Structure 1
Amino acid sequence: MYHTWMRFFTPGPAHHRLGLACLGVGLQYGALPTVGPRVLDHHVAVVISTGAGWYADPEGRRTPVTAPALLWLTPGVPHHYAPDPGTGWDEGFVDFTGPAAASYTELGYIEPDRPVVALSDAAGPRAVIGRMARAARRDNPLLEVETGAAVHELLVALRRARADLAPDGEAVLKALARDACLALTVADHAARHGMTPAELRTAVRRGAGCSPKDYLLGIRLGRAKELLAATDLPVAAVARRVGYDDPAYFSRLFTRRVGMAPVRFRAQQGRAVPGGWSNQVPDPADPPVIGRTTGGAAP
């Protein structure tokens, strides 16, 4: 016995231009039939919550699959898989396509070379698939946009749930974020963690999908934008606050990456107000309101 529910969609050209379009979503459980061998022209993420089975590569070599796990089915790549006929498994699947898939692959969110990925927990991805299933009612006028947006969310949830990314790599990324505005080179950061620069590059690439330099730069420029928008600090002082002793170099770097000079960004986004600003993330359940004093200002 097996049980299957699925819906398939036909997004229009405008939906594809949003970056990712959802082509279908399904929930299945039990002793499901064997899939393939077959080849698809789009991506499929198969999230297995419970159970076990196997996946066969184009040469016919089988890899055991034990939940929680993810199967990446990639366009143009033959695939063949099935749950154990005795126990079956519980799966949710999402078919998708779109030009943004190439960028997600470059960033390491989609891994064509790793068709079987162990997950630390399938709850997060399955919750997203559940919302997509609820959005898939035939009378939903927002169907294509809602499910397309959820594909982006699913890729983030799958990246977060990867078993090989948990404790150590996350600790390194958090430490880099904490120390990003110190005047340190990538080699300095690596040494602080007892790593070689190559080891740090590998850890950051796996965890954040980019180089340590780009990871640190993104944090520094984000902090610089906050200081430019919310304070009256001179540009030179902002540069020093985010780790650059040479304000001219900082301005050139900011202009090249942001697309405008720091002074122009401040002119557009400046919101310095009496009482200063806070870098504490607001609590959505207790937002600041007119007539009530909020927390202290940040330096």
Structure 2
Amino acid sequence: MHEPAYEIGCTSRRTRSGGAVTYHTWMRFFTPSPLHQRLGLVCLGVGLQHGALPTVGPRTLDHHVAVVVSAGGGWYRTPDGRRTTVTAPALLWLTPGVPHHYGPDPATGWDEGFVDFAGPATATYAELGYLEPDRPVVPLADAGPARAVIARIARAARRGNPLLEVETAAAVHELLVTLRRARAGATADGDPVLEALARDACRPLTVAEHAARHGMTTAELRTAVRRAAGCSPKDYLLSVRLGRAKELLAGTDLPVAAVARRVGYDDPAYFSRLFTRRVGTAPVRFREQQRHTVPGGWSDRVPDAEHPATVITGHV
């Protein structure tokens, strides 16, 4: 069961000069059960605030917090005393064990939504580059999508919601993906380096040759792919190749050797060993499990989820 901590409406505080500053705060906090902790990522709290909010810290937490500033501005002070200006839209990462100190401009305030979360999956998200402990202030291109996810968590926090822990945990996963996509400098249509690698993934090229085709050194390509996809160029290329191999195995009658050649492997035995090691089942066995042969192959066109095709039944 969850426990609401507090819900505060309009609040005021006194400044040193004796004037009153008004701000609005709404917060809820939860205590997921040990069973829910096994989901790998749990939501511990959510809040929506705006106005000239009080300064936070200096303090240190034992869990992660994503603070999304959608309007206004303020400041963030690092443990070594350096002060960084925060201008909306922006994200503040509060990391476990790392002291933090921040607040909105007292003259203008800011609008923020925050989500507290924890779990072993945070380590993987950090390794993939979705969480950035060394970058506490992250400019965003748009805070809207992240605020929409936070609003859904807030709605899920209604009293008596039997799906609270699972619903909010799923939303935290979505929030991390949304924030990763919303970083300033990111493109909505995808990363051009990854698009180019995916397009040429099945060609017999080494990582160094891929880098040269894009006018980059191997180290530069490695950094770009790690930043965009959270993995090495070799692993990214392999994931694309294996994904294509699965499609060919499931959707065509091509022999395994022909599938291997289509995805860039001249040695079918090596391809089978690699496929088995990474997928967990042999290519032949995968085909038996997933067979959906379609004359001419599957469509490459991504379906429109908002306007799906319909099956018309009845007499003509």
Q: Which TM-score tier does this pair reach, normalised by the shorter chain?
A: over 0.9
List 4+ stretches of structure 1 deviating above 6 A: none
Native 8 Å contact 2:77 2:102 kept in 1:
yes
Give the whole-Å Cα distance in 1 for the aligned partners of 2:312 and 2:33.
44
Counterpart of 2:301, as a letter, is: Q
Q: Within the alignment, does 1:203 sit opposite 2:224 as a pair?
A: yes
Q: Are 1:179 and 2:200 an aligned pair?
A: yes
In the TM superposition, 1:81-100 aligns within 5 A as 81-100=102-121
Match for 1:109: what amino acid? Answer: Y
In structure 1, what residue type is equivalent to 2:52? A
Q: Which moved more, 1:58-67 or 1:111-120?
A: 58-67
C-alpha deviation, 1:168, in angstroms: 11
Q: For 1:233 and 1:91, how far apart are their aligned partners in 2?
A: 54
Q: 286, 289, 292: which is aligned to 2:308? A: 286
Q: C-alpha displacement at 1:142, in angstroms?
A: 0.6
Deviation of 1:291 after TM superposition, in Å, equals 5.9
Match of 1:9 among 9, 12, 30: 30
Tell me, yes or no, if structure 1 residue 189 matches structure 2 residue 210: yes
Give the counterpart of 1:134 among 148, 155, 163.
155
Question: Pairwise CA RMSD of aligned residues?
Answer: 1.7
Please say which of residues 131-140 and 70-79 is displaced more in the overlay.
131-140
Greater CA deviation, 252-261 or 146-155?
252-261
CA drift of 1:276 comes to: 4.1
Q: 1:290 to 1:222 in 2, by over 3 A?
A: farther
1:54 aligns with 2:104: no
| Distance of aligned partners of 1:271 and 1:169 in 2 relative to their CA distance in 1, 3 Å threshold | closer
Counterpart in the other structure of 1:214: 235
Provide structure 2 residue ranges, at least 5 long, that are not aligned to the other structure: 1-21
3-state SS of paired residue (1:163): coil
1:18 aligns with 2:39: yes
Match of 2:95 among 58, 63, 74: 74
Q: Deviation string for 1:133-178 (max 9, x for gaps)? A: 1111012111111000000000000000111434898111111112
Find the partner of 2:169 among 141, 145, 148.
Answer: 148
**Matches of 1:135 and 1:4 in 2, distance apart?**
18
Q: Which has the larger radius of gyration?
A: 2
Count the aligned residue pairs: 292
Listed one character per residue, the Cα deviations across residues 30-64 of structure 1 (whole Å, up to 9, x for unaligned) are: 10000001111100000001111111111222111
Shift of 1:283: 2.2
- State the partner residue of 2:298: 277
The separation in 1 between residues aligned to 2:125 and 2:117, in whole angstroms, is 12
Identify which range, 249-258 or 168-177, moves more after superposition.
168-177
TM-score w.r.t. length of structure 1? 0.94
The TM-score with structure 2 as length reference comes to: 0.89
Hey, what's the Cα distance between the residues in 2 that align with 1:81 and 1:64? 10
In the alignment, which residue of structure 2 is the partner of 1:245? Answer: 266
Structure 1's unaligned 5+ residue stretches are 293-299
Higher alpha-carbon deviation: 223-232 or 279-288: 279-288
Note if contact 2:125-2:131 (Cα within 8 Å) is conserved in structure 1.
yes
* Cα distance in structure 2, aligned partners of 1:232 and 1:288: 28
- Worse-matched range after superposition: 245-254 or 21-30: 245-254
The alpha-carbon deviation at position 274 of structure 1 amounts to 4.9
Shift of 1:119: 0.8
Q: Look up the match of 2:7.
A: none
Say if 1:201 and 1:275 are closer, same or farther in 2 by CA, change over 3 A: closer
Query: In structure 2, what is the equivalent of residue 106 of structure 1?
Result: 127
What residue identity is the alignment partner of 1:281?
V
Contact preservation (8 Å) 2:181, 2:188? no
User: Comparing 178-187 with 44-53, which one deviates more in the overlay?
Assistant: 178-187
Are residues 266 and 168 of structure 1, via their aligned partners in 2, closer, same or farther at CA, if it must alter by over 3 Å? closer
Aligned to 2:281: 260
